[in-house]
A and B are shown apart, each in its own frame.
Chain A
Amino acid sequence: MKFTITREKLHEGLGAVAASIPSKTTLPVLSNILVEATKDGLRLSGTDLDIAVSTIIPAQVDQEGATTLPARKLSEIVRELPSAAIRVTGSGEQRVQIECGRSKFKLLGLSRDEFPAFPAVKFDGAWRVQAKELQKLIAHVAFAASTEESRPILNGVLWELRPDRMRMVATNGHRLARMDVPVKGTGGQADLIVPPKALEQIRKLFGPDEEIEIARSDNHLGFRSAGTQIFTRLIEGPYPNCDQVIPRENDKIMTTDKAAFTAALRRMSIVASDQTHRIRLAFANGACKLSVTTPDLGEAQEEMTVAYEGDPLEIGFNAAYLIEILKYAPTDEVRMSFKGPERAMTCEPVGWDDPASYLTLVMPLRLLD
């Protein structure tokens, strides 16, 4: 194996693969990056066995070959090297020499045969999606997936792929995010439950204007563009039917400025319990009263002017959830709708000039007096 590559390209490539390298592992080869010099350039791959990332970067390959190298050390070396051509030469027995300017390193790797094979996903007849559409879904929905282990299905994000539209839904049972985007001609129809970690890589590693090919095997999903491939384990369904639980008859509507409401919530949170973040909202006559009482700590109140239609309402929430959904709202103004103190609140952007439709939902916390 022998190739020459610019420091910048190698740095970029290693950065892309780094996120898929596990920080702790019992399988030593997983701490390594698979380095393959091919006639198309240099392919770098890493995996934690849940997701696998592979990217190809331009390099001048003089002699093809492959090995695996410790990811951390390799990245550190490349980061510290001057901006110049890097020459990498394999010297047998998984030994690799790295030269750049007047620096010279020898690194010891592990055989490429020890590196796990990537999932066999066939891309013939793949669905096609614009990266930016997919990334928009991910950016607005993936945060809502559950991180707690009791309901593994909720650890995933539901991705409904239809010929003319895509939808993503994620929830942890306390709050939910859902987005629909119209698209043309995906060429597919599938319901997929994808781990958010993989979606995060998709958001980061594909350029917005790339077209991504997507294909699945029984339990894996593959994404690929010209240079990059990402594979992930799929979570087995079925995903709970959320349409059924998203309320339609919420009749109390508040419209408010996102920034102002967020600021008020953050102020209240200071005095809220740092475990439950419970705050109380009271709506009446164009005003929203926020208040919090935390035994042993203290209390706080604030009143803000909002547009509110409907009967007066008092309702409790985990302030952290409200702040979070507001953070992801794509517009300056949001509309929140309520039914009662035990029922779900939904939140939608106001005046969004985007063909997508977006909804978030938060379940209340019980209030006792």
Chain B
Amino acid sequence: MAILPDAVANQIAAGEVVDRPASVVKELVENAIDAGARHVRVEIAEGGKTLIAVSDDGSGMGREDAILALDRHATSKIVVAADLVGVNTFGFRGEALPAIASVARFQLTTTDGEGDGTEVTVTGGRVERVAPVARQRGTTVTVRNLFFNTPARRKFLRSVSSETRAAWEVIGILALSHPDVGIEFVADESARLQVPADQPETDRLGQVWGRDVVASMIPLGHAVGSVRVEGMIQRPADARPTGRRTQLFVNGRPFRDPGLIRAAEAGYRSAIAPGDRPTLLLKLSVPPGDVDVNVHPAKLEVRFRERFQVERAIEEAVRLALGGLDASATLAPGGGSAGWASPRRPMAEASGDAAWLPFDQAAPAAPDAGISTRSFAAPLFQLRDTYIVFETPEGAVFVDQHSAHERVLYEQVMADFESGAVASQRLLLPITIELTDEELEAAERVGDSLRRIGFEFEPFGGRSVVLHAVPSPHPRFDATLCFRELVADLARGRFGGWANQLERFAATYACRAAVKAGMPLSEPEMRSLLVRLFATELPPHDVHGRSTIVTVPVDELERRFGRR
């Protein structure tokens, strides 16, 4: 038995740290960011198989450190085990450079700005040359012929385009994690990404994920205890079943966690079509001691001390963001509403900047009832007996009366279910309704829910039922039609994607009981509907994941009229 020579040990470690060019790119860019770089330039050729070069203007290293950096477990980032707790650099193992150097033709050029720089050349882990060199403060690592000495690994490399794409992904994630750092990425001599330092986060996201995607997203920001959540999430109406992106960061470090993505999706409850998956970018901040980053060899996972609190913070953040007016659809180019870069407070809290809603400020608002108790003063107009239109300082707002009423009724029914306070109107003249076999069966299956919602009915021979009492959710309610449609929907399994039976029932009921499109509404009816809509938790979204509100910003009008 013998201790493995360093070169062999490094090669084995390399198996864990670098399995493809993209992981080399990741380690090198992380090192550059850890070194405090303002600008990082990455160049690759042939997907990184022949060349990976990463240059930065960070702290650089003196001659001794440059040589030491290539030793296994040499790191400047932690000294004792206790430092691992709360480590806020990407690196902490001291493994990346020696591992990379052991499987490539490697060159490190660096200077800390005092005296000459140092150039270290390593081939397959063997230091060939250390020479002085002139350069500006910073570091350049050049990696050629990756895996030249491990043919087995080389064989597993994919096509140039897929290796390039993988490198791109890695750079994209790091670009998102540090909008303060400028990053340039060149592959086979063409620029793939060029983002300036100190870039506004949404601009950066637009460059990395595409402007269309970002235009469909809204900002969020919320804290529970010491957990703070920021980021951007997609409007439910723009989410699709496939092709979404998700990205989590904690204290600037990317990680994966399907459980937290689920927590975010829970925040979309009742506002998104079943099966639709929203694109999410969530940036968590927790006290450094509350997250353990050393639980996964490739640092892809982390462990939270207060996991439950983190989940709650995420779910609440999503819910609050979706409830804000910024979450409503807009006809602005690219879809972004003015000022969406800064998360706004949810509407229920936004007493100060509720200015967009011309509520009558004279009417004192009950402190906890939010704007729902205020009267709504803007002139209203009904378009095609379907949309309620009004003006705000920021533009024109269109509200779909059916969708809006659906949202109102859904939340009302869920609340009524909880309090048991359903208003059920007894009928003087019972209503007899003929059903199909399937409908009758569905009616019996959900009989309890139907009763809880206010329908009192009993079989009436054959396939008929007779209604003795009906809900009375609003003055225009058509109980017979609602019962018929509700039962037919239930029989056909509409809203079948909803996991919770009660929520599914409430959504179906809300859809059927709501005022329909094409129904003329009086001005007071429109006003009351809007006041009630804005008192709900998620005003901008109906229970199908569609928008209830579309805004046309003044900016956009002015653009169209050539005023700007």
Using a CB–CB cutoff of 8 Å, the interface residues on chain A facing chain B are 148-151, 154, 171, 173-176, 240, 242, 245, 273-276, 278, 293, 295-297, 316, 318, 342-344, 361, 363-366, 368-369
Interface stretch of the complex, out of B28-36, B301-309, B468-476? B468-476
Contacts of A369 in B (CB 8 A): 420
Interface stretch of the complex, out of B13-21, B106-114, B477-485, B546-554? B477-485
Cβ of A363 and Cβ of B421 under 8 Å apart?
Answer: no
In the assembled complex, the CB of A29 is this many whole angstroms from the nearest CB of chain B, namely 23
Q: List 30 A-B contacts (CB under 8 A).
A: A148-B477, A148-B478, A150-B479, A151-B480, A154-B429, A171-B428, A171-B429, A173-B427, A173-B428, A174-B427, A176-B428, A240-B429, A242-B428, A245-B428, A245-B429, A275-B412, A293-B421, A295-B419, A296-B369, A296-B372, A296-B415, A296-B535, A318-B425, A363-B425, A363-B427, A365-B426, A366-B426, A366-B454, A366-B456, A368-B420
Q: Which of B369, B415, B428 contacts A174 (CB 8 A)?
A: B428
6 other A-B residue contacts (CB within 8 Å) besides A150-B479, A365-B472: A173-B429, A273-B423, A295-B421, A296-B369, A364-B426, A365-B424
For the complex of A and B, list the 9 residue pairs with the smallest distance between their C-beta atoms, beginning with the closest.
A366-B424, A276-B423, A363-B426, A150-B480, A368-B420, A150-B478, A278-B423, A275-B474, A173-B427
Which residues in window 446-487 of B have CB below 8 A to A? 454, 456, 469, 472-481
Contacts of B476 in A (CB 8 A): 148
Q: Which of B424, B454, B456 has the most CB of A within 10 A?
A: B424
B372's closest neighbor in chain A, by CB?
A296
In the assembled complex, the CB of B476 is this many whole angstroms from the nearest CB of chain A, namely 7
In the assembled complex, the CB of A306 is this many whole angstroms from the nearest CB of chain B, namely 23
Complex CA gap A81/B199 in Å reads 71
In the assembled complex, the CB of A230 is this many whole angstroms from the nearest CB of chain B, namely 26
Contacts of B475 in A (CB 8 A): 275
In the assembled complex, the CB of B488 is this many whole angstroms from the nearest CB of chain A, namely 15
Cβ of B472 and Cβ of A318 under 8 Å apart?
Answer: yes
In the assembled complex, the CB of A176 is this many whole angstroms from the nearest CB of chain B, namely 6
B477's closest neighbor in chain A, by CB?
A148
B44 CB–A CB distance under 8 Å: no
Knowing A176-B428, A295-B419, the reply to whether A366 touches B480 (Cβ < 8 A) is no
Cβ of B427 and Cβ of A365 under 8 Å apart?
Answer: no
Knowing A150-B479, A245-B429, A363-B427, the reply to whether A297 touches B369 (Cβ < 8 A) is yes
B528 CB–A CB distance under 8 Å: yes
B422 CB–A CB distance under 8 Å: yes
Q: How many A-B residue pairs have CB under 8 A?
A: 80
Complex CA gap A342/B419 in Å reads 20
Contacts of B528 in A (CB 8 A): 274
Complex CA gap A364/B427 in Å reads 8
- Give chain A's interface secondary structure class: loop
Contacts of B480 in A (CB 8 A): 150-151
Q: Which of B372, B423, B426 contacts A342 (CB 8 A)?
A: B426
Complex CA gap A151/B475 in Å reads 15
In the assembled complex, the CB of A177 is this many whole angstroms from the nearest CB of chain B, namely 12
B531's closest neighbor in chain A, by CB?
A274
Cβ of B469 and Cβ of A366 under 8 Å apart?
Answer: yes
Contacts of B477 in A (CB 8 A): 148
A151's closest neighbor in chain B, by CB?
B480
Contacts of A278 in B (CB 8 A): 423
Q: Which of B416, B429, B479 has the most CB of A within 10 A?
A: B429
Q: Which of A151, A242, A295, A365 contacts B425 (CB 8 A)?
A: A365
In the assembled complex, the CB of B370 is this many whole angstroms from the nearest CB of chain A, namely 10
Complex CA gap A154/B456 in Å reads 21
Complex CA gap A273/B535 in Å reads 14
Complex CA gap A39/B431 in Å reads 54
Complex CA gap A150/B473 in Å reads 16
Contacts of B535 in A (CB 8 A): 296
In the assembled complex, the CB of A338 is this many whole angstroms from the nearest CB of chain B, namely 13
Cβ of A149 and Cβ of B420 under 8 Å apart?
Answer: no
Cβ of B428 and Cβ of A344 under 8 Å apart?
Answer: yes
Contacts of A154 in B (CB 8 A): 429
In the assembled complex, the CB of B218 is this many whole angstroms from the nearest CB of chain A, namely 26
In the assembled complex, the CB of A258 is this many whole angstroms from the nearest CB of chain B, namely 23
Complex CA gap A366/B415 in Å reads 17
B484's closest neighbor in chain A, by CB?
A150
In the assembled complex, the CB of B21 is this many whole angstroms from the nearest CB of chain A, namely 58
Cβ of A361 and Cβ of B420 under 8 Å apart?
Answer: no
A171's closest neighbor in chain B, by CB?
B428
Cβ of B481 and Cβ of A361 under 8 Å apart?
Answer: no
Q: Which of A176, A242, A366 contacts B423 (CB 8 A)?
A: A366
Contacts of A171 in B (CB 8 A): 428-429
User: Per-position contact with A for B49-64: 1 when CB-CB < 8 Å, else 0?
Assistant: 0000000000000000
In the assembled complex, the CB of B49 is this many whole angstroms from the nearest CB of chain A, namely 64
A297's closest neighbor in chain B, by CB?
B369
Complex CA gap A171/B421 in Å reads 26
Cβ of A366 and Cβ of B422 under 8 Å apart?
Answer: yes
Cβ of A363 and Cβ of B420 under 8 Å apart?
Answer: no
Complex CA gap A302/B117 in Å reads 89
In the assembled complex, the CB of B453 is this many whole angstroms from the nearest CB of chain A, namely 11
Contacts of B420 in A (CB 8 A): 368-369
Contacts of B429 in A (CB 8 A): 154, 171, 173, 240, 242, 245
Contacts of B478 in A (CB 8 A): 148-150
Cβ of A295 and Cβ of B472 under 8 Å apart?
Answer: no
Complex CA gap A343/B469 in Å reads 11
In the assembled complex, the CB of A152 is this many whole angstroms from the nearest CB of chain B, namely 12
